[in-house]
Structure 1
Amino acid sequence: MKTKLLLIALMIVGLGFTSCKKDKTEAVEEIGYGTSFGMCVGYCLNEVAIINNGKITFTKRANGINPSTKSCTKTIDESEVNTLKALVNTNEFAKLPEVIGCPDCADGGAEWISLRVEGKVKKVTFEHGKAPNELKELAQKLKGIKESFGDCN
């Protein structure tokens, strides 16, 4: 009897430790994505922020002495937000370095993805068009969302 109780107690403790390692996708509060080009004329920095309620904010900033900023917003439904969040593996994202490759070297441009999870933000920046394997599908979807703001003036 004591052996069974001990075995049950060990299983409960073991399950408790493995649950700590679960992906925190459901805790993603915001997904950010952007591109920038240092040697560029016009609106060279573009970024989107997608929050849990489906609100998307697009911002573009111009280079120059008096840089101007323009913003537009849209909303997407909860299922679309959940589709994006399903492409996020927070454990894998946390393991990635903050900078991969040489973003915007020789004006090749930079891309980044950021996640706000439980109030903490992590941003991973990589060479434009060269998302790491862990982020390729998410980067592709986020690029499409960013491009959907082409009429933002």
Structure 2
Amino acid sequence: MKNKNFLYITFILISIITFSCKNQDLTTTATIKYGTSFGMCVDYCQREILLNGSKATFAKSKNGNNPDTKTCTKELDEVTLTALRKSIDMNAISNLPDVIGCPDCADGGSEYVEITSNGKTKKVVFEYGKTPPSLIDLVSKLKPVFQSFNDCK
């Protein structure tokens, strides 16, 4: 029991130290991933966007043995990049559990946000359409970028 508590407290302290600033130089160094997945679909069931610097890379793939992955890239304008970076609150994100609810249960789908900064990665997976309150601002800015790739072939 003591070891469990020690590990838990150590994890919390490391998280606090690692993510102690809201936007600790996330302006240029962070990579942001946002994606959706549906386990029981026929077409392109998994979609993901990766934002690295000013470059956005979109990938979509099918379920099964032949994923037939398609990718597209584009440069993002500075206004969009600034809005995205300002909406990252690493304190709030680091305090979220890795999985919220029951993502993709009964094929309800799942969404996720993943932030990598300063060599640390935090990924939060949640039920499709049920964005956690502390991610609403970020996800609302990611979705238009994500949807701008709807014509990716």
CA shift, 1:59, in A, is 0.2
* Max Rg structure: 1
CA distance in 1, matches of 2:49, 2:20: 29
Tell me the SS of whatever aligns to 2:35.
strand
Tell me the SS of whatever aligns to 2:150.
coil
CA distance in 2, matches of 1:51, 1:82: 13
Given that 1:47 and 1:59 are in contact with CA atoms closer than 8 Å, whether structure 2 keeps it comes out as yes
Given that 2:31 and 2:52 are in contact with CA atoms closer than 8 Å, whether structure 1 keeps it comes out as yes
CA shift, 1:135, in A, is 0.4
CA distance in 1, matches of 2:25, 2:79: 13
CA distance in 2, matches of 1:133, 1:25: 21
Given that 1:45 and 1:61 are in contact with CA atoms closer than 8 Å, whether structure 2 keeps it comes out as yes
- Give TM-score scaled by structure 1 length: 0.82
- Give TM-score scaled by structure 2 length: 0.82
Structure 1 runs of 4+ with >4 Å offset: none
CA distance in 1, matches of 2:24, 2:152: 30
CA distance in 2, matches of 1:109, 1:21: 32
Alignment of 1:3-152 (within 5 A): 21-27=20-26, 28-52=29-53, 54-152=54-152
> Superposition RMSD on alpha carbons, in Å?
1.4
CA deviations on 1:7-49 (whole Å, 9 max, x unpaired) are xxxxxxxxxxxxx933234235111100000000010000001
Of 104-113 and 63-72, more deviation after overlay is shown by 63-72
Given that 1:111 and 1:125 are in contact with CA atoms closer than 8 Å, whether structure 2 keeps it comes out as yes
Tell me the SS of whatever aligns to 1:50.
strand
Given that 1:35 and 1:45 are in contact with CA atoms closer than 8 Å, whether structure 2 keeps it comes out as yes
CA distance in 2, matches of 1:103, 1:33: 14
Aligned length: 133
Tell me the SS of whatever aligns to 2:126.
strand
User: Share of identical aligned residues, percent?
Assistant: 47
Given that 1:25 and 1:85 are in contact with CA atoms closer than 8 Å, whether structure 2 keeps it comes out as no
Tell me the SS of whatever aligns to 1:73.
strand
